[in-house]
A and B are shown apart, each in its own frame.
Chain A
Amino acid sequence: MLKNNKHSYGWISIGIHWLMAIAIIYMFGLGLYMVELTYYDAWYRGSLDLHKSLGMVLLALLLFRRIWQALNTTPNALTAAKWQQVSATIMHHGLYMIMLFLMVSGYLISTADGRAIIVFDLIHIPALPWSINHQEDIAGDIHALLAWLLISMVVLHAFAAIKHHFIDKDRSLVRMLKVDTSH
């Protein structure tokens, strides 16, 4: 089952969730690590190229994910508590929004002087035709701030999933791990 239904997420939603989860956590670590590398480290340039390439792939995945969600059913909420439904929705939309701003701010650093981003030596993503003064510095500060914000939200999101699994004993975590075809 590739698509979602009222009871279960489909494999595409599940796959893209975990793919992005792993990539985003890796990107956070990579980002912190690469800025500490010095000029004579062999991976000084390569780490940045990888970070930019993965960032653009993540942006494409995020856009695809939102389109896929729009075309698909969202499984019913597992909890009856209104406040939980509302806070889950706020968290999910917050995650999407911060991810988008984070990726766009990264793009704006790399393209501040009109250079394209080259994704894995294959695709050139051109710069915008305009830029602002000191764009690389401003976008850089925002990028670092949003990275910490996103990873904090990811931790909160993960704790919520664990809480639902072990304390509420509902299927929130399980249904993001496998497709349920029993309905």
Chain B
Amino acid sequence: MKKLLLSTTIAAASLFSSFSYAADYNIDKEGTHAFINFKIQHLGYSWLTGRFNDFDGKFSYDQTQAADSKINVVIQTASIDSNHAQRDKHLRSKEFLNVKQYPTATFTSSQYQANDDNSGTLTGEFTLHGVTKTISFPVEKIGEGSDPWGGHRAGFSGTTKLKLADYGIDYNLGPASTHVELELHIEGVRQ
């Protein structure tokens, strides 16, 4: 009886302790509730948008311990899709992403600074075209809760702006097109 009580206590303690750490989420790649979009100006006259179709990642998040939040995303650069095969071929070539030499772009967070319950600033290492830089950008929590199929989900959005030349991509697209905006919309399923 004493032994059972002890093991129950340990089990309860471990159960409790697991709640005290941030929960781990996998990006919902299978159901495609995650998007990495980009946009860049065309000649300064309009916006061209596109996305990366293939990426994956994990994040840790707990509302009560937001500062412990972490995220890691790996993008397959060859999956770039601007709805025009010949442009995508050009974007994958050595003149832009050089996907044969740099097949992935990665982001690994190092710090999360919460502003309030639903927003903050994420800092981390972003690697693109073989160049790694520390970037910070605002993120927003869109929502969190149980889904209709027995799981628990949380979703975030973040936007950042990159100067292509900083990453060694220096093809001349004109003065209005030196920067690209990246939008990350992710939904994770708690593990």
Which residues of chain A have a CB within 8 Å of any CB of chain B? 38-40, 48, 109-110, 112-113, 115, 134-137, 140
Please measure, in the bound complex, the distance between the C-alpha atom of A38 and the C-alpha atom of B172, giving whole angstroms. 8
Q: Is the CB of A39 within 8 A of B89?
A: no
Q: Which bracket fits the contact residues of B?
A: 10 to 19
B89 touches A109 (CB 8 A): yes
Q: Which residues of B contact A38 (CB under 8 A)?
A: 171-172
> A39's contact among B84, B92, B171, by CB below 8 Å, is which?
B171
Contact present for A136 and B174 (CB under 8 Å): no
Pairs of residues from A and B, 5 with the lowest C-beta to C-beta distance, nearest first: A113-B85, A112-B85, A136-B85, A136-B89, A39-B173
User: What is the distance, in angstroms, from B41's C-beta to the closest C-beta of chain A?
Assistant: 13
Are B86 and A110 within 8 A (Cβ)? yes
For the A-B complex, the count of residue pairs with Cβ-Cβ distances under 8 Å equals: 32
Q: From the candidates A48, A113, A115, A134, name the one contacting B78 in the complex (CB within 8 A).
A: A134
8 CB contacts below 8 A, A to B, read: A39-B174, A40-B172, A40-B174, A112-B85, A112-B86, A115-B84, A136-B88, A140-B89
Residues of B with C-beta under 8 A to A39: 171-174
The distance from the CB of A126 to the nearest CB of chain B, in whole angstroms, is: 15
- Taken together as a complex, chains A and B put the C-alpha atoms of A38 and B93 apart, in Å, by 13
Knowing that A113-B86, A135-B85, A136-B86 touch, tell me 6 more A-B residue pairs with CB under 8 angstroms. Answer: A39-B172, A48-B86, A110-B86, A112-B86, A134-B78, A137-B78
